[in-house]
Structure 1
Amino acid sequence: MFAYLFAALFFLFFLVGVVRDPRRFGNAVLLGLAVVALVVGLLGELHRMPERFADVVTLLLLFLPALGVLLLAGALVSNGATMVRREGVRAANLLSLLAGLAIVGVIILLVTALFIRSRTLIVIAGTVVLVVGYVSFLLVCFLGYAFLYERLRVRRSVGFVVVLGSGLVGGTTVPPLLASRLDRARKLFDAQVARGNRPVLITSGGQGPDEHLPESHAMADYLVTRGVPAERIVREDLSRNTEENLRFSKTIMTKIDPDYRCVIVTNNFHVFRAALTARRTGVRGQVVGAPTAKYFQPSATIREFVAVFLTYKVVNLGVCLLIAVSGVAAWLWH
């Protein structure tokens, strides 16, 4: 009964948070807590079920998550190999491979601890599992809420469409990843025009050390060749990362219209983190996503989650440290 009450309260707080500002990571955590409380409540009903049915459900609850973890590890390792083959050996391209190997390592550690029955190894394995469980909970919250946030529709007229930049190929050419953002921005621009509105389209991106021109200039040229009027494009060519993209674009928008509203365009894996950054930098706008190649998404999503995790590093690393200290205390106590 109490589990259902907690589930209802967490979900109510989640709804209030979404209404106040959907660009909050706290919303993701509240939704995750509501789901966990609901699952606990449902598990509490097992004793009321027929014994054989309850046994089957219990076995499924034990078997399916274990199978899911193994399949996930295999999928991540496979994706990591694909990333290396298609994108080359770089730290960002190794994330899914490393995540898959880390899952395998935790499984081996846990099985070894249970087989050997070493108290020290059991404490270490238990501590690692708790840390991994905490991080996994946040990851599931991140993925679930990011999935929901990305499906929010642009329902109002806006004065600006901001496109976040990324690197150029060969220092001059818009790559497919960035082209998908620009194509989505162009469609949003056309949709606004169809409503009788003529927004300003801001291309945002500075010049990297290996680029022959600012990203925003190549982005603007791409849009002009596809029918966007040049006079409706403003180039923000100083930024070097997402936060600067948003801060510098905010300055441009505020000068043109202090009461501006905007839509920010990036790739779908980057939507939620960009929304969190937009909230933190005070940009008044919704973030929407453009399609990304499927093989690229796992590593990119892991990278986004790590960045969000470290954004709240004081809390998250503090919890992980507390779990580790508790494990040491448990080992010393016996």
Structure 2
Amino acid sequence: MWAYLPAFLCFLWFAVSAVRERRRFSNAVLLGLSLTLAAGAWLFELHRDHQGMARVLVMLLLGLGVLGVVTLAWFLISNGVVMVRKEGASPANLLSLLAGVALVGLVVLVAGTLAADNRTLDVAAAGAVAVSAYVGFLFLCFVVYAFLYGRLRFRRKADYVVVLGSGLVGGSKVSPLLASRLEKARAVHGRLSARGGRPMLLTSGGQGPDEDLPESHAMAAYLIERGFPEALLLREDRSTTTEENLRFSRTVMEQATPGYRCVIVTNNYHVFRAALTARRVGVRGQVVGSPTASYFLPSATIREFVALLLAHRRAHLTFCLGFVVGAGAIWWLG
């Protein structure tokens, strides 16, 4: 049972951290580490007591892993083609396609390494697999914890419901993506009102260079047209990014209601990164998500993850560089 101690301690660390502040990426990593260590401890115990069964299980897991990578590559490439067909070939829409192609390249590199007797190729493949495993582990941590965070219930009381803006169609019309956020905000506002509160609904979004009016004004107009009381609406019309959405909205809320609490509404794929940003800029509120078209989710989720990596690029580049240097050291010493 001592083999499970590291997993237990890691999970305890995760639990304490999550209770203190749910909006941390370190929570996702700690949860992933605790599950990985627990699985490793279980395999260790199994190998100690039943070596033959453990070997068979490890081989089965390796086979399933290879099959999973190939299947994932096929799915990402297929989704990337759909994204380009429906949304256009912008860099953001190409992410799932590029990720699928990268996985295919990794499989080809590993297969070529196994087929050839070349030490340089072996070391290159080892470095590529190590970096891919590191990024893949972080991505799984991100997806699992974002899924869990997105299913937390919001507070029973809040002073504001904040809707984060996104681009307008044709410069003036609310897009289906943004309409999904607004409908979710109406539902959240209705539930808070049913509990005896009277929160204000704050639309947040400035005017882009290709837009005829600020996003927050188009969002407010959408709500008013559908019967939402204008007296309960506020507009924040200076922001151009998610961070500015939250920072400028915080200023509006603090000035009107010191000690406020809020619920922030965005799309489900954006919930966790919005929560991390809200924590960083000091917004007191939980983030909830609205539905997104299924074909849009893979690229959108990868985009959120890439943005998160870039926000901490020095640390992640240091780890990846360590893998590359380690592979180079093995080649040099060999």
Instruction: Give the TM-score taking structure 1 as reference length.
Output: 0.98
SS in 2 for 1:289: strand
Change (3 A) 1:14 1:256: same
Distance 1:139 1:96 in 2: 13
Matched, 1:310 2:310: yes
Cα contact 2:87–2:93 (8 A) shared by 1: yes
Look up the match of 2:105. Answer: 105
- Count of aligned residue pairs for this structure pair: 334
1:295, distance to aligned residue in structure 2 (A): 0.1
Look up the match of 1:295. Answer: 295
Distance 2:113 2:53 in 1: 32
Look up the match of 1:319. Answer: 319
**Aligned letter for 1:42?**
W
Distance 1:164 1:200 in 2: 14
Look up the match of 1:188. Answer: 188
Distance 2:226 2:89 in 1: 34
1:46, distance to aligned residue in structure 2 (A): 2.4
Look up the match of 1:144. Answer: 144
**Aligned letter for 2:27?**
N
Distance 1:78 1:308 in 2: 25
Distance 1:274 1:140 in 2: 18
Moved over 6 A (4+): none
Distance 1:320 1:66 in 2: 22
Distance 1:34 1:206 in 2: 42
Distance 1:66 1:46 in 2: 23
Change (3 A) 1:319 1:52: closer
1:2, distance to aligned residue in structure 2 (A): 4.2
Matches within 5 A, 1:1-334: 1-48=1-48, 50=50, 53-334=53-334
1:62, distance to aligned residue in structure 2 (A): 1.7
CA RMSD, Structure 1 to Structure 2 (Å): 1.2
SS in 1 for 2:168: coil
Distance 1:118 1:94 in 2: 34
Cα contact 2:3–2:45 (8 A) shared by 1: no
SS in 2 for 1:182: helix
1:162, distance to aligned residue in structure 2 (A): 0.3
1:305, distance to aligned residue in structure 2 (A): 0.2
Distance 2:81 2:92 in 1: 13
- Cα shift readout 1:179-231 (whole Å, capped 9, x = no counterpart): 00000000011111111111011100000111000000000011111221101
- Cα shift readout 1:11-47 (whole Å, capped 9, x = no counterpart): 1111111110000001000000000100101111223
Distance 2:255 2:205 in 1: 19
Cα contact 2:202–2:235 (8 A) shared by 1: yes
- Cα shift readout 1:246-278 (whole Å, capped 9, x = no counterpart): 000000000011100000000000000000000
SS in 2 for 1:15: helix
| Runs of at least 5 residues in structure 2 that lack an aligned partner in the other structure | none
Cα contact 2:165–2:215 (8 A) shared by 1: yes
Calculate percent identity across the aligned residue pairs: 59
Distance 1:252 1:95 in 2: 35
1:52, distance to aligned residue in structure 2 (A): 5.6
Distance 2:14 2:52 in 1: 37
SS in 2 for 1:44: helix
| Runs of at least 5 residues in structure 1 that lack an aligned partner in the other structure | none
Distance 1:223 1:202 in 2: 11
Distance 1:162 1:42 in 2: 45
Change (3 A) 1:317 1:2: farther
SS in 1 for 2:174: coil
Distance 1:131 1:85 in 2: 31
